[in-house]
Structure 1
Amino acid sequence: MNNTVDDPEVVPRYRIGAVARMANLPVGTLRIWERRYGVVAPPTTQSGHRLYSEADVRRVAMIKGLVDRGYSIGSIATLQTGELERLAFMHVDKTPVSPLTEGRPGLRLRIVGTALAQTIRQHLHAMQAELASEPKVFENMTAAFTERMNQPADVLIIHLPSLHADDVERVLALSASTHAENIVVVYSFAAANTINLLERVGVRTIREPLDQASIAHMMSDIQRKTGQAATQPDMREPAPQRHYSDETLMAMAHASTTVACECPKHLASIIMQLSAFEQYSVSCASRTPADALLHVYLANISGRARAMFEHALLRLEREERWALEKSLTAR
């Protein structure tokens, strides 16, 4: 992205205390990180105060999050922002999601951009739209990145008046941290290839001005998709844990049954292969956040498929009344 002095991403505006609060980090630790590791290099005013930009805040917050996950500060301090985002994205499937609390029916919204939030609220009020709760609003992407969110959202709406190709990775990273099923980017200016890239990864784009008709269409479409998804597994939740170990599966594959076929053996083989692919997807190297999101999805899908086959094998085991312990003892 070509930043200019007018770009709010790079304009110095925050003092160290504010940055420390947003990143949930002691001021003393931030000073040490700067002095010893060079995590950021904010300019200093004539009065001697360091002023940090939104990009600095986001970088500090990502480093803090990775350190909390076990990375040493020395190993990640000098990484580029894109590399930090890729690392953070690799852990998205490990981010805990709290169960949904019972409440009013309707969509759960998170909105990035206070001006956009005001416009959307006005239109939703006029439409008498049904929401589960008042939309959660963030001033900008930096503020959204720095807040840990354990409750999933149905819709994440992001205001990016000037949309660049580099913003795609930031949008994907933020959507992962909010566990949002639907992502909408509202923009004023953007290149056609950037819009195409977002749409290819499932992000809806709407060009300003945002009127009531476009909001109504967006909400109706999302509600329809959300209703359809209600009958499908929630991909924001991790796949079930394994029921059978490889050793147990091998024993069951060779156990004596009344079934005159090799179905138990084939089921055991399929489960082991799915488990192996699940682990492979988790550890597979990802070049971009989009790659990481795909591998998280593949691991989740294979884990759920493995759980379904385990359920089938469990039913077969019960109906055949296998005496696995005897079989293992005899071997």
Structure 2
Amino acid sequence: MTAIELQPRPLYSIGTVSRLTGVKSDTLRVWERRYELGASCKTASGRRQYTQTDLEHLQLVAALIGNGARIGDIASADRRTLEVLLRQRNGALGDPVPQSKPRILFVGEALCDWIDEHQGCLMNVSALLARTTPQALLDGELDEIADIDGAVFACPHGVNGDLPALRNLAARIGTSNVMVLHPAGSAAALAALELDGALAGQFPPDPAQLTFYLSRCAAEKSADPGAGELQALVQPKERLFTEAELEALRQAPNDADCQCRAHIADILKALVAFEEYSANCASDDWRESAVHACVYAYTGQARWLMEKALSRVADNHRD
């Protein structure tokens, strides 16, 4: 079998990794020199390029060091061990361990070239690029492909002849979350894709549609498996106040010069109602679904932030 090279994307500079981890660039260089804890890739000129996996690993290391761990004790630990250690240090009430981003396989030379020019679409995923055909990948060595959460296949010459290979490859890597990009195809082939549950799109891809698909993969990874409702696709933030608690805060005596509790409680009641409404918005059109998903996510975030604000105001009044 021919080994298939998988190219990770996106790639981050050391400055970006420093910003995202809170670890100084000089410290990252020391960790790489002393503990081989560094970038998986380098350019021809020797510039470090960190993969999404590298970044997530370093974020766990940084979180543990922030909780009192010593770099020498954890530098050689794998991700699973780091996650266990972080849970133990955080305790039941600590911050949750960050979840890894979904691994998405992109297959097709033209598609991989397009991705390299549009890496902004990959902000929610960890991508693996296979610059080959679905059949060649199926015939090659697939040991490197594990824990794939979704796949995007490009069929620039039409989907008709590639349909069997697409089905077999999706089954081989163990994912039903598939997007197939093509310029044209017979009605029967496109209908077969739809029956298989695949999302079909044009090639070259529409960046908005591809971003929506990848965002859905990210949401599904953090939601309950198999859930298809909008409120399950976007992981909601738990409410900090019940309806009764909001009403009690709204009715509580306020200072003459400060009515913040009552105003924030009113805002929260409106946000809660709209959040429930937006979660039940449904559409068969992917563009409308993407808009509804964003509205629902942003509303939940706004509600959670206002709950944080109300907590601060309520604590201040108690003091």
**Shorter-chain TM-score: what band?**
0.3 to 0.5
TM-score norm. by structure 2 comes to 0.37
